[in-house]
Amino acid sequence: MTGIAYTPGRRWKKPPLITSPLLRWSLGLGIAVYLALALGTTEIDWGRVAEGIPRGLRFITGFFPPDFVTRWDEIFQGISESLWMTVISTVVGIALSIPIGLGAARNLAPRPVYYFCRAVLAVSRSFQEIIIAIFCVKLFGFGPFAGFVTLSFATIGFYGKLLAEDIEDMDPVQAEAVRATGAGWFQWLNYAVQPQVLPRMIGLGLYRLDINFRESAVVGIVGAGGIGATLNTAFDRYEFESAAAILLIIIAIVMAVEYTSSFVRKWVQ
Partner 1 sequence: MIWAGYLTVGMIFVYCWNLVSETTIWMFVWDAHNQAVDLGERMVPPKWDYMSKLWWPIWDTLNIATLGTVLALIMAVPVAFFAARNTTPSTVILRPIALFIIVASRSINSLIWALMLVTILGPGVFAGIIAIGLRSIGFCAKLLYEAIEEIDEQQVEAIRATGASGPQILVYGVVPQILPAFAGISVFRWDINIRESTVLGLVGAGGIGLQLNASITNLAWTQVSLILLVIIATVVLSEWVSAKVRHAII
Residue 109 or 222 having the CB closest to partner 1: 222
In three-state secondary structure terms, 156 is helix
Is there binding between residue 235 and partner 1 (CB under 8 A)?
yes
Residue 143 or 179 having the CB closest to partner 1: 143
| Smallest distance, partner 1 to C-beta of residue 252, A | 9
- Cα separation, 174 vs 237, in Å, equals 60
- Cα separation, 11 vs 9, in Å, equals 6
- Cα separation, 224 vs 117, in Å, equals 27
Q: Of 34-42, 97-105, 162-170, 180-188, which part binds partner 1 (CB under 8 A)?
A: 34-42
Residue 175 or 246 having the CB closest to partner 1: 246
- The interface with partner 1 within residues 139-178 (CB under 8 A) comprises 139-141, 143-145, 148
- Cα separation, 213 vs 168, in Å, equals 29
Is there binding between residue 98 and partner 1 (CB under 8 A)?
no
Is there binding between residue 41 and partner 1 (CB under 8 A)?
yes
Q: Interface with partner 1 by CB under 8 A: which residues? A: 14, 17, 34-35, 38-39, 41-45, 48-49, 51-53, 55-56, 59, 80-81, 83-85, 87-88, 91, 122-123, 125-128, 130-131, 134-135, 138-141, 143-145, 148, 214-215, 217-218, 221-222, 225, 231, 235, 247, 250-251, 254-255, 258
